[in-house]
DNA sequence: CTGAAAGCGCTAACAT
DNA sequence: ATGTTAGCGCTTTCAG
């Protein structure tokens, strides 16, 4: 960094004090309108650029919120981000996006990094391999507001924005059962993550409520990337299931592809339902049934809660942590409609 | 922010100077190993957290690079990000991601914001509505390194990492012609953006080289979102084209859907080729032919160039701007294979 | 190997 | 309405 124009340079040039320049630049109403305009004009002329670092250091406030994401490549996450931004920019806060690429280690590093950068609060979705939330202890100790969304720790005592994964899993499975399916396979990911576990529990409960026996052989846990999903589907196909409940849309699409390769039809031979309502869902053939998961809304709610917490903290008030559940719903398209197809 | 432990607190507790603490924390080899260990231990005990703000202010260096993205929701952008991170973390640099949501105005705001945060360099992909790069003048003036990638300004004199969009457009079109297509429609976006314009020019050249006349009626420029693409496809279908060259894979998938809705077959009646090699390409039916666009590599190259520029700047050396072209290639799957299908 | 002093650029108290 | 002074927390001379 070469020599930058500072407020002192402007002050010197104008024969006034740096304080006045600072106030003028921040449009403090105490400063005479004329002076203010002069300051802005001179700053412009001298190519002055505000130094956020110095300002934040002095103010002991960064007006920045950190975001810890497990990944950024999904439609869902992008929507959440959009929702957060919408709320946060309105309050003139910046955001600092980090992502862990599903690695717990990177999540820890990101948490420390954001703390060192003195963010005013964080919004987080846990990585796949995160085992506990000890790395957020420094935040709790300092009472720096945190809001968890989607991928949360079920037992932890903090603000959470989630959907009801249990009932989503239940309803998706129930829907398949109502289509006449009796042998429903389930492809999911690491069950230590709440979202997957809850859906799985919903799946099991639905089976039970409909007098179907749960079989471990019909469950595959994998990373949900293409290769893993192909393998999982192939192995499950050996069990001759008549339906698949897949925990995300991308994997569901891959699953359908593999089913087709085996010369089977979807949904006639095997019904498939995904999760997330990604854009790809109605681009594939047959169009994918899925569970709609309102990312934008989740982002908005998470950000709104965080802003509330930050404000209350700034005025030394208490804030009651709460868990908020966002509505979600089944989106039935073609891939699961076995009964209709049979009729026709 | 409440009172944080500082290096002074540690110094007091240990009866040494803050300077030594600072050095110890930074593992400066001049400090006695014993002292160093004591410092680390005490820091840990006292819950010390390094203040990046203060440190950066003092060092006048943030070890942070800014990234200006047009959007974050594409596979391509995510890959670029991964490529950048790979290179940059190795050098212990942080990244600050911003995105303009294709708005030139937001791009300007982000550029200023990153400058105020004193990033050491930036990597940028221009927003759709950006008309010029005047907002980067402050960077040029301060010789803060910039690398543009993908969406660049063709005439500007700066480091650019691109693919040869012209020849990609040419080859995609040529491929369609070789499949026997004679009336090739083209769906693309704002032609002020180099990537779209160059592909378009390649398309035109390929037609000319193969004695096909260019018809304006076969071109539709739209935002490439779902609704716009549906409309564009419908309107183009009136011209009875026998092929579509669509400038991204998502839009190509939508295009295929619309073609199917019109009772036409892909590729038998109409061949389709996309662009980007998104993951959805081989999940749809028929599998999409496309142009592979190596995002990770592009990110790596962009970041490597930027790091070079930053280092040369720090040692006051000159750096010659250059344009680097990343290889790209046609990926032929099913959606464009008209001739084979006819035979069978 | 360690320390004293200064200063990065800004803003908040406390004047006036 | 404006100025003086001090300090946010760190690192970097310079000195020993």
User: Is the minimum CB–CB distance between A128 and chain B shorter than 8 Å?
Assistant: no
Give, in order, the Cα–Cα distances in Å from B124 to each of B68, B116, B160, B174.
Answer: 5, 17, 9, 31
Other C-beta atoms within 10 Å of A323: how many?
Answer: 13
Sheet strands (E) in A21-111? 64-69, 94-99
SS3 label, residue A332? coil
CA A256 to chain B, closest CA, distance in angstroms equals 9
Within 8 A of B115 by CB-CB distance, chain A residues are: 49
Could you identify the residue written with the tokens 């810890």? A68
Give the tens place of pLDDT for each residue, A137-178: 999 999 999 999 999 998 888 999 999 999 999 999 999 999
Q: What ranges do the domains of chain B cover?
A: 7-50, 60-163+295-328, 165-292
CB atoms A47 and B285 under 8 Å: no
In the stretch 145-204 of chain A, residues with CB closer than 8 A to chain B read: none
pLDDT of A343 over the 50 cut:
no
Task: Please tell me the predicted confidence (pLDDT) of residue B314.
Answer: 80
CA B212 to chain A, closest CA, distance in angstroms equals 32
Please tell me what DSSP assigns to residue B263.
T
Chain mean position to CA B187: 21
pLDDT of A341 over the 70 cut:
no
Q: How many helices (H) and strands (E) does chain A have?
A: 13, 12
Nearest protein residue by Cα to C1' of nucleotide D6 = A58
- Determine which of A119-128, A229-238, A313-322 has the lowest per-residue pLDDT on average: A313-322
Fold agreement (A7-50, A165-292)? no
Which CATH number applies to B60-163+295-328?
Answer: 3.40.50.2300
Query: With a cut of 50, which residues of chain B have pLDDT below it?
Result: 1, 342-344
Q: Which CATH architecture has domain B165-292?
A: 3-Layer(aba) Sandwich (3.40)
Task: Please tell me the predicted confidence (pLDDT) of residue B344.
Answer: 41
Nucleotide nearest to B19 (CA to C1'): C3
Q: Does domain B7-50 have CATH number 1.10.260.40?
A: yes
| B140-CA/D9-C1' distance, Å | 31
**Whether B277 CB is under 7 Å from strand C:** no
Task: Please tell me the predicted confidence (pLDDT) of residue A215.
Answer: 96
- Within a 13 Å sphere around the CA of A50, how many CA atoms are in the beta-carbon half? 14
CB atoms B49 and A1 under 8 Å: no
User: Is the minimum CB–CB distance between A227 and chain B shorter than 8 Å?
Assistant: no
pLDDT of A68 over the 90 cut:
yes
Q: Where are the alpha helices (DSSP H) in chain B?
A: 7-14, 18-25, 33-45, 52-59, 75-90, 104-116, 137-141, 165-178, 194-209, 226-237, 249-261, 295-314, 338-343
Give the tens place of pLDDT for each residue, A287-319: 999 999 999 999 999 999 999 999 988 877 777
pLDDT of A344 over the 70 cut:
no
| A339-CA/C9-C1' distance, Å | 71
């Amino acid at each position: 960094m070469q020599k930058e124009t500072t407020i002192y340079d402007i002050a010197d040039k104008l024969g006034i004090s740096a304080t006045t320049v600072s106030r003028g630049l921040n449009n403090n109403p105490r400063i005479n309108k004329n002076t203010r305009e002069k300051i802005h004009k001179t700053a412009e002329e001298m190519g002055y650029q505000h130094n956020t670092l110095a300002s934040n250091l002095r103010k002991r406030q960064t007006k920045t919120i950190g975001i810890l994401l497990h990944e950024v490549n999904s439609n869902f996450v992008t929507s959440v981000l959009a929702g957060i931004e919408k709320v946060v920019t309105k309050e003139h806060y910046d955001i600092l996006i980090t992502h862990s690429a599903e690695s717990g280690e990177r999540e820890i590093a990101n948490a420390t990094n954001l703390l060192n950068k003195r963010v005013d609060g964080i919004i987080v979705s846990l990585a796949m391999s995160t085992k506990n939330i000890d790395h957020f202890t420094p935040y709790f100790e300092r009472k720096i507001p945190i809001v968890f969304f989607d991928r949360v720790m079920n037992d932890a005592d903090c603000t959470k924005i989630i959907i009801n994964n249990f009932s989503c899993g239940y309803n998706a499975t129930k829907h398949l059962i109502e289509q006449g399916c009796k042998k429903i396979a389930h492809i999911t990911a690491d069950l230590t993550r709440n979202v997957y576990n809850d859906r799985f529990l919903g799946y099991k409960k639905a089976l039970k409520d409909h007098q179907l026996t749960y079989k471990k052989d019909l469950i595959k846990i994998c990373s949900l990337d293409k290769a893993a999903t192909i393998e999982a589907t192939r192995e499950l196909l050996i069990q001759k299931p008549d339906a698949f409940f897949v925990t995300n849309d991308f994997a569901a699409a891959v699953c359908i592809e593999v089913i087709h390769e085996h010369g089977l039809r979807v949904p006639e031979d095997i019904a498939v339902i995904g999760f997330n309502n990604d854009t790809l869902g109605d681009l594939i053939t047959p169009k994918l049934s899925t569970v709609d998961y309102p990312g934008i809304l989740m982002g908005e709610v998470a950000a709104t809660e965080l802003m509330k917490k930050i404000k209350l903290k700034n005025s030394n008030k208490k804030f009651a942590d709460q868990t908020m559940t966002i509505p979600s719903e089944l989106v039935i398209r073609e891939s699961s409609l076995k009964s209709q197809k049979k009729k026709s």
